[in-house]
Amino acid sequence: MDPLPFNIKHIRQEKGMTQQDFANYLGIKRSLLGAYEEGRARPKLSIQQEMARLAGITLDQLLTTDISDNGVAVNQEKPVQQQPPDGSGDLRVLSVTVDQWGRNNIEVVPAKAETGYIEGHHDPEYLRELSKCQLPFLPEGNYRAFEIKDEAMPPLQPGSYVVGEYVMDWRNIQDEQAYIVVSKSHGILYRRIVNKFDASNHLELQADDPSFSILHLGVEEELLEVWQDVLYITFGEDNGAMSQQKLTNIVLELQQEVMRLKRKIGE
């Protein structure tokens, strides 16, 4: 029996995608994907190669091995898909990493990694190299932690970290709310946003410290990612530049405290 139809369905399900999601990702019609999964049609080579790449397996494994029954692990990078706000139909994909229990990690982006992140934010291989943590008290979602590099948003000082949740539709950006903005030319910024997307296809970035200039950011020319702030970790003025290890220790302490509270509630 040809294992390919079963493998296609298995990969899609492992990624948590509907047939429509997976079809959008591959750039094909949902009906055609259904035909692939039912063995009524066979994908062309470029589609096969993309499926194998997404699953982290070889093309030979995809075509000849039932990966659901032979212990072949599907790559845990999970693409989060979205139609971009400009309506062009191009697919934006957010790569994330997951832990051994299948929970999305929170990748930690230190200030010194800014250039690398701008270039590799969409690359699963790059994301694997970043430090990661879990904050179990956060609801399920896609989060990332960014180190702040300036004093534009007091009381946060350089060395503080902001945990942001991924904004999938830039039209949903709320005026005067604080976000992490990843841009091509201006790097990673933590600012309040005035959303002028519909009016003039740009965002206005404002700092709480009035000594910082307002920045006008073209959506198509500059914008890479937007993350809405959820919480921040600050270390005070006397301890601005913190190591990733110290941040990890603080996160572990928070996790332990959450577990203690859960046990207390269960008693």
Percentage of residues in the chain having pLDDT higher than 90: 42
Asked if 118 contacts 184 with a C-beta cutoff of 8 angstroms, the reply is yes
Asked if 148 contacts 267 with a C-beta cutoff of 8 angstroms, the reply is no
pLDDT grade for 37, boundaries at 50, 70 and 90: very high
Rounded CA-CA distance 97/112 in Å is 21
Q: In a 3-state reduction of DSSP, which class is residue 170?
A: helix
Q: What is residue 208's predicted lDDT score, i.e. its pLDDT?
A: 94
Q: Which two tokens stand for residue 29?
A: 């019609």
Class of domain 93-266: mainly beta
Taking residue 112's Cβ as centre, other Cβ atoms within 10 Å add up to 11
* Residue 213 pLDDT > 90: yes
pTM of the model: 0.60
- The mean per-residue pLDDT over the stretch 220-229 comes to 93
CB proximity list for 63: less than 8 A, separation 6 or greater: 3, 4, 48
Angstrom CA distances, 163 to 2, 40, 106, 226, stand at 45, 46, 8, 12
Write down the domain spans for the chain: 4-75, 93-266
pLDDT grade for 245, boundaries at 50, 70 and 90: low
Asked if 110 contacts 194 with a C-beta cutoff of 8 angstroms, the reply is no
- The mean per-residue pLDDT over the stretch 79-84 comes to 49
Architecture label for domain 4-75: Orthogonal Bundle (1.10)
* Residue 90 pLDDT > 50: no
Highest-scoring range by mean pLDDT, 10-19, 73-82, 256-265: 10-19
